[in-house]
Amino acid sequence: MLPHKTLDQYKAVFFDVGDTLLTIPAARVIMQQFLASRSFHRGEERIGELFTEAFRLFYYGKQIDPFEVCTPESDRAFWMKLYRYILQHLGVEEERWTEEQIHACCHELYDLFTSPEHYALFEDVKECMAALKNRGLRLGIISNFAPTLRSILEHKGILHYFDPVIVSTEVGLEKPDPAIFRLSLERSGLAAEDVLYVGDHDLNDIWAPAQAGIDAVKIKRYDYHTGDGIYSLRELL
C-alpha cells in the first residue's frame, strides 16, 4: 500500500534498518546466556518481557532534544540506559551487584548487541532489494544506529545495494529530526517527491520524512506495529 503514487513514479526507495531490514532474533537468549556467564540466572520469558517493556518505554517513547547532537557516545548512553532498566527489573541490585558491575555490564551489552554476528535479515530483504534495483530504483539507508551499521550491512551481504547510507552517529543528526531526511536528499541529489521511505516507527519513519516532503510507508513486522502499512517488502513490488 503506497501513498498516492505507484512505485514506478519514484526514482528511489530509502529504508530504515532496525525492525525494517534486520533484527536480532535471539536477543532474549543472548542476554540470558550473557548473564548466566556472570552467574546471574533469569528466565528467557521474563527477559523477553522486559525487552518489550523497555523498548516501548525508551525507544518508542523517546523524546528528542533538538539541541542535542547525535554521537557514538550519546547512542551508547541511550542503550546503556535501556539495558540498565532491564537489569534493575531483573533484580541485579538484590543480588548485590555494585554500581561499577552494572555499568560495566551495560557497556558490554551495548558492544554485544551492535556486533554483526547477532543480526539477521528478514527473509524478504535480499529478494526485494534485488528486485527494486532491477526496476532501476536507487536504494538508500537513513537509520538511527551505532557506528557499526555499515559493517553489519556488509556482513549480511547487502551494503552494496545502498547509496547514500545515512547513519545518525556518523552525521550528528537522528530521526525524528527532519534534517536527517533533508541531508539524504542533499547527498543523493534527489528531490523529495522522487523518494519513498520505508520504516516501522510512526514518529521517526512516517511523520519525520513527511516534514521533509518525502512519502513514507510503514512496515509492520511485529504484533505491536499497529495502524496502516505493509507486512512484507514484497508488497512494494
Please count the other Cβ atoms lying within 10 Å of the Cβ belonging to residue 218.
21
Please count the other Cβ atoms lying within 10 Å of the Cβ belonging to residue 97.
18
Same domain membership, residue 133 and residue 17: yes
What pLDDT does residue 66 have?
58
Q: Give pLDDT tens digits for 3-61.
A: 778 999 999 999 999 999 999 998 999 999 999 999 999 999 999 999 989 988 887 76
Which of 120, 59, 121 has the alpha carbon at shortest distance from 85? 59
Report d(CA 142, CA 51) in Å as an integer.
24
Question: Which distant-in-sequence residues (6+ apart) come within 8 Å of 36 by Cβ?
Answer: none
Report d(CA 142, CA 162) in Å as an integer.
10
Contact status, residue 59 vs residue 82, Cβ threshold 8 Å: yes
Q: Which of 59, 85, 118 is the last residue of a domain?
A: 118
Q: Residue 189 carries which side chain, given as an amino acid letter?
A: G
Same domain membership, residue 130 and residue 109: no
Q: What CATH number has the domain bearing residue 205?
A: 3.40.50.1000
Q: Give pLDDT tens digits for 148-190.
A: 999 999 999 999 999 999 999 999 999 999 999 999 999 999 9
Q: Is residue 179 part of a domain?
A: yes
Query: Dihedral sign, CA of 126, 130, 132, 137?
Result: positive
Q: Is residue 171 part of a domain?
A: yes
- Structural domain boundaries enclosing 154: 7-23+120-236
Q: How many domains does the chain have?
A: 2
Evaluate if residue 1 carries a pLDDT over 70.
Answer: no
Q: At which residue does the C-alpha cell 525492525 appear?
A: 19
Contact status, residue 39 vs residue 176, Cβ threshold 8 Å: no
Q: Is residue 1 part of a domain?
A: no
Average pLDDT of the chain?
Answer: 92
pTM score of the predicted model: 0.91
Report d(CA 166, CA 27) in Å as an integer.
25
Q: Which of 118, 144, 160 is the last residue of a domain?
A: 118
